[in-house]
Amino acid sequence: MTVVGILAFVVALLVSVMLHEAGHFFTARRYGMKATQFFVGFGPTLWSRREGETEYGIKAIPAGGFVKIVGMTPLEEIEPGDEDRAFYKQPARRKTVVLAAGSTVHFIICIVLVLLTTAFYGTPKETAPILAAISNCVANDPLASCGAPDARLAPAVTAGLKASDEVLAVDGRTVSSSAALIDAVKAKPGQAVTLTIRRAGREQAVRVVPAAVTRPGATQAVGAIGVSVQQHFVTERSGPVGTVQNTASTIGMLVTGTIDTFSKKLGTITEVYGPNRDPAGFVGVVGVSRVSGEIAAAKMPPGDKIASFVLIVAGLNLFVGIFNLLPLLPLDGGHIAVVWFEKARDRIRRARGYVGEIQRVDYNKLMPVTMAVVVLFAGFTVWLLGADIVNPIRISQ
């Protein structure tokens, strides 16, 4: 089943790439531009067929795709008769639509996938967490062994807690998430708390005294009982209005998560090879495909597997759509930035009396910066690839 999940992700990724390129292709054709090639993959051509002025085909390396639009930059040689159809000669608004079409398709895919999942499956909602495992001891360093000088018997062991216990409340207050349980325990170092748990279908109260531990880098002690907590989700279904609202809420969370990855997780890139790799941080294509495979092999209902997989694909499309709009060459966002820089500069010049043709940006001067970005992205990709192989992120089971 793991292989099935990985293959399903690869297929979904290729379909997303094909639709991305289709966005460029059809908008360019709509505005009368000439597209001579539409290929999925890179490298040697495995199959191709020409229809009209466009060659369609599949190449050997399934790592992307491309559409060849005539005259993407003034540096390109254009065949006689195609001058007016060249991309760079089109109005700024049309060029922007064509360039942004790929990311727009990714956003549409994300919305459609989340909407369908919400409508037919429901909305996952976190509820009372489950104890995934019980440690024999606790120490200031959560990664320390029981042989550490400050290690002591885990309060969870003393209290008789067991893996698979569902924690319903802490001191009579309902616990609705794993984070709420962790925070409640941390807030009571050395103070007794009463956990209301469900075990084998029966509820019972368990008294436990969290040990006071001082985590590395911290100055204040927090409570710890020696357990690992597993998130527990239930599915809620609703009517048409609720479905739309839940879809908007889910997409909002995906957008927030994507923005946080760009703005708050950059520092974690140096930790992807270490024991403290952030599971919510950066992950490469290999890592995402591995997670997809683990979901396919996990012990959960088929509906949960499908919904989880679809949401992963939706989140990936959203991430790629936003990433592709960054104002950096050779990304589409970089080309859009050049288009509007040319437009703004031309308006300023004409306001000063200039009456000639619009002066284009010299892409030769931008080439060193473009190559630097390519090298940076390539290095980033290889760095994540290695981490995904030797120190992969794994889901809880």
Residue where a domain terminates, one of 178, 207, 236? 236
| Residues in the chain, pLDDT under 50 | 396-397
Task: Record the tokens describing residue 255, joined without a space.
Answer: 């957008």
Return the CATH number at 211.
Answer: 2.30.42.10
- The model carries a pTM of 0.76
Residue 397 confidence (pLDDT): 36
In 3D space, the residue among 266, 292, 297 whose CA is nearest the CA of residue 280 turns out to be 266
Residue 199 confidence (pLDDT): 94
Strand 193-199 versus strand 227-236 pairing type: unpaired
* 354 in a structural domain: yes
Do residue 337 and residue 208 come from a single domain?
no
* 169 in a structural domain: yes
Which residue numbers are catalytic? 21
Nearest-5° Cα angle at 298, 283 to 295: 35
* 69 in a structural domain: no
Tokens 């029981």 -> residue: 146
Residue where a domain terminates, one of 236, 267, 282? 236
Residues in contact with 351: Cβ distance below 8 Å, sequence separation at least 6, in sequence order:
none
Q: Are 305 and 295 in contact (CB under 8 A)?
A: yes
Q: Is the peptide bond prior to 330 cis by the omega test (within 30 degrees of 0)? A: yes
Residue 396 confidence (pLDDT): 44
**pLDDT tens digit sequence for 177-234:** 888 899 999 999 999 999 999 999 999 999 999 999 998 777 889 999 999 887 777 7
Do residue 183 and residue 260 come from a single domain?
no
DSSP H/E element including 367: helix 363-390
**Helix, strand, or coil here: 133?**
strand
Distances in Å between the alpha carbon of 223 and those of 155, 248, 261, 343? 10, 37, 29, 60
* 78 in a structural domain: no
Q: What is the DSSP letter of 81?
A: T
Do residue 317 and residue 366 come from a single domain?
yes
Nearest-5° Cα angle at 17, 13 to 21: 170
Residues in contact with 285: Cβ distance below 8 Å, sequence separation at least 6, in sequence order:
13, 385
Domain total in the chain: 2
Do residue 118 and residue 140 come from a single domain?
no
Q: What is the DSSP letter of 225?
A: -
Do residue 308 and residue 249 come from a single domain?
yes
Measured in whole angstroms, how far is the alpha carbon of residue 342 from the centre of its chain? 33
* 118 in a structural domain: yes
Residue 98 confidence (pLDDT): 97
Cβ neighbourhood burial of 357 (10 Å; 0-12, 13-18, 19+): exposed
Measured in whole angstroms, how far is the alpha carbon of residue 271 from the centre of its chain? 18
Do residue 112 and residue 144 come from a single domain?
no
* 228 in a structural domain: yes
Do residue 373 and residue 249 come from a single domain?
yes
Residue ranges making up the domain that contains 177: 125-236
Radius of gyration of the chain, Cα coordinates, nearest whole angstrom: 27
In 3D space, the residue among 280, 281, 288 whose CA is nearest the CA of residue 314 turns out to be 288
Expressed in angstroms, the distance from the first to the final Cα of the chain is: 15
